[in-house]
Structure 1
Amino acid sequence: MNLKDLKFENEEIEYKTSWKDEYLKTLCAFANTKGGQLIIGIKDNHEVVGVQNFQKLLEYIPNKVKNSLGIIPSLEIKEVDGKNILVISVQPYDMPVYYDEKIYVRSGSNTVELTGQELTRFIFKKFGKSWEKSPTSVTIDQLDLSTVELFKKLAKERLSAISEDDSIEKVLYNLELMSEDGCLNNAGVLLFGKDPSRQIDAPWVRIGRFSKNNSILDTVDAVGNLFRQLEIVYEAIKKNINVRFSFENTTERKEIWDYPLVAIREAIINALVHRDYAVQQDTQIKIFDNAIWFWNPGTLPEGIRVEDLKNTIHISKPRNRIIARVFYYARMIEQWGTGTSRIIDSCLNQGLPEPEFKEENGGFSVYLYKDMYTEDKLRKMGLNERQIMAVIYVQRTGKITNKEYQELTGVKERMAGYELNELVKLNILERIGKTGKGTFYTIKGAKGAMKTQ
């Protein structure tokens, strides 16, 4: 081995000048992560000091590691710069490896102890189990049977194997929610329990309405099973946003909410279905004057990037496979891998800014934005009051024609055309159609421009 072959310390390599029993923690961490090498006789700066008593260590260390960690390392003497060093190699292990009744893993070049929620996730992963399938002592008589019956009605179109005449036991067992001893797993309680927060200490959803100065105007805690939480959260958000009515081209009244209800419902379902339930943190939804923020514990599954979520259809890798499947059968999920694109499309179709998806604060966030342009922003761009009025109008209705601009502002056709063209030049509006009565203007970039005719 040459000096130039030495790598910087990382997740799989660590250097020590001499052996100490406390380094068993590092070997434990290697075994619990990707494996690694502890190299004795080299300083952190790659200065080679060598090992004098390597024959003794070759006998001592394997026995110490086996007795303390229950694993067998590989030891090898190598010569670097004319001096002997000891390379202790550990392979990754499928089962958890403990040192002094604690579990350690590698995080970069550091050895860290796992505790709390991270430890829970690690154990689930190592044993090939999921939070969903963990057993409970909850039985059928502790379920919300009305929710089970509702599910049976909703699912009959997509799940022909289940009929409304089937017993509750049969339904739950076929959905992998109940074991043969009659007890439900975590997923079963979360989906159909009377009070999962008490029965299995399941987290709930917290909704808050905030003012411009971040004062709390309203709070709602959504408890109960997931079907119940969905409706509580949905109604709480609707209560805290505005709705207006349009009679455009029809005598029938049309509701236009600050945010598309499709986007709101999809964001809620995304939060309930994909959150990390092994983490004892509540899902949070914060409603501001100009945005709604949904935050969930748990980052995206491995292999899926935030950018992928903007694709019309992307790979679906649900963290909670059983819960996602039940929601799909109940027609709460339209099609695998399309929820985020439905959120984006519905917002753009209404002339709203594109929603944002972020991994942050140890979780996943969805941001819905109310308006692309505020009055203050438009004034700073140099628009006159008529143009500001028109842009706000378009954000509310989806489009504006020359005639509507005249009626809204009181100007003549020629001035209306001039001021609308100014908005086009500023890249605020875009013109749809060349000439004639079919021409209208919409917010530039609104995906649904052609659908508003």
Structure 2
Amino acid sequence: MKHHEVDAALAVVGEGVKADSLESETLDFKLVAESPKATFNLISDALVCFVNAHGGTLVLGVDDKATDRVQALRGVPESYTVEGVRKGIFDRTSPPITAFVEERVVEGARLILITVPQGAMPHSNAAGLATRRLGKECLPFPPHQQREVMIARGQVDWSADASSLSVSQLSAVEFERLRRLLIASGRDHLAELADRALLESLRLIAPNGSVTNAAVLLLADEELIPRVIPSYGYSYQFRPTSGSEATGRTRGTRPLIAAIQAMTDAMESRREVWPLNLAGGVQLQLTDYPSEAARELVINAFIHRSYETGGTVDIEHSPERMIITSPGGLVSGVTPANILTHPSTPRNRLLTETVSVLQLAERTGQGVDRAYREMLRIGKEPPLFEDHGTLVRATLAGGIGNAAFVRFISDLPLRASRDINILLSLTHLRHSRSIDAFELAEIIQRAPVEAQEVLRMMLDDYSLIAPTKRSASKQFPTYRLRAEVLAAMSRSVSYRHVDVDDMDRKVIEHVREYGFVTNQTIRRLFDLHVYAARDLLNSLREREIIDKIGDARGGAGVKYGPGPRFPKSKS
């Protein structure tokens, strides 16, 4: 808890404001109890609750129910010295907590501020009870939750624990597969080592001489792995429609690298691809499930799952959606609402680092950012993550990507076309007419100030958006797509402007003056590529503002004149 936050709370306590309403996950107020023993027990319980969560500050000497300032600032007797309070806490916590204790006099009331940081390991009170502060409550902190928190803080790593196997029991075939990956990743010096030396270099040998659990997952054969790690396994099924019977099924216990390859091969064999031709002879691909997005999520499911929880990694594939399920909830601190921006907290750190060395997946960001980027770049929604406590479900939406959006993105500067925050902003603006920093903050999982910086970059650096007239002078304006951007994105946008915009007006004025307009004219007027110009013309045709003239079916000769809803001249 920062001092200025405590000061701000103390400044308003009792000024018609109850201290209880100012309490938070990192701030609490208490009164001295009837005896020093009871007081120290009260303080110790509160600090254990703080230290097992995010740390915090306890202010002793404040009545949290009083609305009158004099009644609220009750103070602490001089008999409670700073050293005495510190020792009382130390003696009543396990492992002992050494707190930061200071006196503070507020309007004649002597208060004691006691601050603790987040603990490196779980703590309990004198009775052996461990609690953790969530919101304003202290809730039980059972052993399985303690272990998850220690995993998140990098203090427990199941994958680095010793297994029951020796190096000689591992598979020669899998060693060869491992060496091929090392060579492909430019680590020939490791690939040339003998088996044991190779494992030692990768830290896959435990202190007792046996191989680690990570080594078993990577290098034991499929008959041996289930005997050592009973929870290991995977399944894949393909359904022609989401509600029909599966027509393709795979289930197995092959070692991790081979399993990932088998799963990605199964998905790839059923992936739908449509070629997309761009100007200049460039050809891109539209697909239902981008290979890199699906592969990253499959790898995540294998390396970040809980192997201390029953269940297998399961993939359900249909044209409508792909669902990848893995046992164990998200690691403590990670939620679907912050998974894109939360610092990497691998559950199985050694396994994750080894897979990173093999360049099978991104270590930083857990590959989630890549899955987001690849889905967004083809005009689709990002992955949907759900944490059900005992399992995590990642869902990719099926169906073809959006050709108009892909064409638009391909024309952006490379940096913008690969910026997840910009892609998320543009995706939102495909379905909503406007956006502001507060909306975007939730979408990109960042603070509103950071979201405003993204919008500023889209405005100043790339000219993608413009502030609305009513909000332009505000600190956090509301933005819309610029007219030419809206036209270029055209059919990827799910809404239509009811009023004729500036681009429409220019086209109408040209048709009124010259009698017709062509694709080439549109390109010259607005500096658009051929496809964006075509989409603008199609939009005007759909609204019956213009209509095709003559018998030409395509090409440069196609002309467009006034349509049934072409505006009449005011004159």
Task: Name the TM-score, length of structure 2 as normaliser.
Answer: 0.52
> CA contact under 8 A between 1:196 and 1:225: conserved in structure 2?
yes
Task: Output the amino acid matched with 2:315.
Answer: I
> CA contact under 8 A between 1:290 and 1:371: conserved in structure 2?
no
> CA contact under 8 A between 2:166 and 2:209: conserved in structure 1?
yes
**Residue 119 (1) aligns with residue 146 (2):** yes
**Residue 354 (1) aligns with residue 393 (2):** no
**Residue 155 (1) aligns with residue 182 (2):** yes
**Residue 234 (1) aligns with residue 264 (2):** yes
**Residue 269 (1) aligns with residue 333 (2):** no
> CA contact under 8 A between 2:152 and 2:331: conserved in structure 1?
no
Task: Output the amino acid matched with 1:327.
Answer: V
Aligned match of 2:11 in 4, 13, 24?
Answer: 4
Identity %: 19
3-state secondary structure, aligned to 2:160: coil
Match of 1:146 in 2: 173
> CA contact under 8 A between 2:217 and 2:255: conserved in structure 1?
yes
> CA contact under 8 A between 1:222 and 1:233: conserved in structure 2?
no
Alpha-carbon deviations, 1:211-268, whole Å to 9, x = none? 86757647654434212321343355467x476999x9xxxxxx99854555433432
Match of 1:97 in 2: 123
> CA contact under 8 A between 1:40 and 1:50: conserved in structure 2?
no
Task: Output the amino acid matched with 1:68.
Answer: R
**Residue 176 (1) aligns with residue 203 (2):** yes
Structure 2 distance, partners of 1:171, 1:424, is 66
3-state secondary structure, aligned to 1:54: coil
Distance 1:287 1:141, change over 3 A: same
Distance 1:367 1:259, change over 3 A: closer
Structure 2 distance, partners of 1:242, 1:91, is 50
> CA contact under 8 A between 2:233 and 2:312: conserved in structure 1?
yes
Task: Output the amino acid matched with 1:435.
Answer: G
How far residue 22 of structure 1 moved from its aligned partner, in angstroms, is 5.0
3-state secondary structure, aligned to 2:396: strand
Distance 1:154 1:5, change over 3 A: same
**Residue 188 (1) aligns with residue 188 (2):** no
Aligned match of 1:37 in 57, 70, 76?
Answer: 57
Aligned match of 1:13 in 27, 32, 52?
Answer: 27
How far residue 161 of structure 1 moved from its aligned partner, in angstroms, is 1.1
Query: What 5-or-longer segments of structure 1 have no aligned partner?
Result: 249-254, 310-314, 374-390, 392-417, 428-433, 438-453
How far residue 4 of structure 1 moved from its aligned partner, in angstroms, is 2.0
Task: Output the amino acid matched with 2:555.
Answer: T
Distance 1:65 1:214, change over 3 A: farther
3-state secondary structure, aligned to 1:233: helix
Task: Output the amino acid matched with 1:88.
Answer: I
Structure 2 distance, partners of 1:27, 1:183, is 41
Structure 1 distance, partners of 2:397, 2:219, is 30
Match of 1:371 in 2: 400
3-state secondary structure, aligned to 1:161: helix
How far residue 17 of structure 1 moved from its aligned partner, in angstroms, is 3.6
How far residue 152 of structure 1 moved from its aligned partner, in angstroms, is 1.4
How far residue 286 of structure 1 moved from its aligned partner, in angstroms, is 3.0
**Residue 54 (1) aligns with residue 86 (2):** no
**Residue 24 (1) aligns with residue 44 (2):** yes
Match of 1:135 in 2: 162
Task: Output the amino acid matched with 1:199.
Answer: V
Match of 1:415 in 2: none
> CA contact under 8 A between 1:17 and 1:50: conserved in structure 2?
no
How far residue 110 of structure 1 moved from its aligned partner, in angstroms, is 2.4
3-state secondary structure, aligned to 1:365: strand
What is the number of residues matched between the two proteins?
A: 372
Distance 1:423 1:141, change over 3 A: farther
Match of 1:291 in 2: 321
Task: Name the TM-score, length of structure 1 as normaliser.
Answer: 0.63
Task: Output the amino acid matched with 1:40.
Answer: L
Relative contact order (C-alpha < 8 Å, sep 6+): which is higher? 1
Distance 1:338 1:101, change over 3 A: closer
> CA contact under 8 A between 2:235 and 2:251: conserved in structure 1?
yes
Structure 1 distance, partners of 2:113, 2:344, is 42
3-state secondary structure, aligned to 2:206: coil
Alpha-carbon deviations, 1:128-151, whole Å to 9, x = none? 453432333332244333212221
Structure 2 distance, partners of 1:419, 1:34, is 53
> CA contact under 8 A between 1:40 and 1:51: conserved in structure 2?
no
Query: What 5-or-longer segments of structure 2 have no aligned partner?
Result: 1-6, 14-18, 278-284, 403-490, 492-533, 544-553, 558-571
Matches within 5 A, 1:219-258: 220-237=250-267, 241=270
Structure 2 distance, partners of 1:150, 1:16, is 61
3-state secondary structure, aligned to 1:156: helix
> CA contact under 8 A between 1:152 and 1:163: conserved in structure 2?
yes
**Residue 199 (1) aligns with residue 199 (2):** no
**Residue 68 (1) aligns with residue 92 (2):** yes
3-state secondary structure, aligned to 1:294: strand
Structure 2 distance, partners of 1:77, 1:306, is 40
Aligned match of 1:435 in 555, 566, 569?
Answer: 555
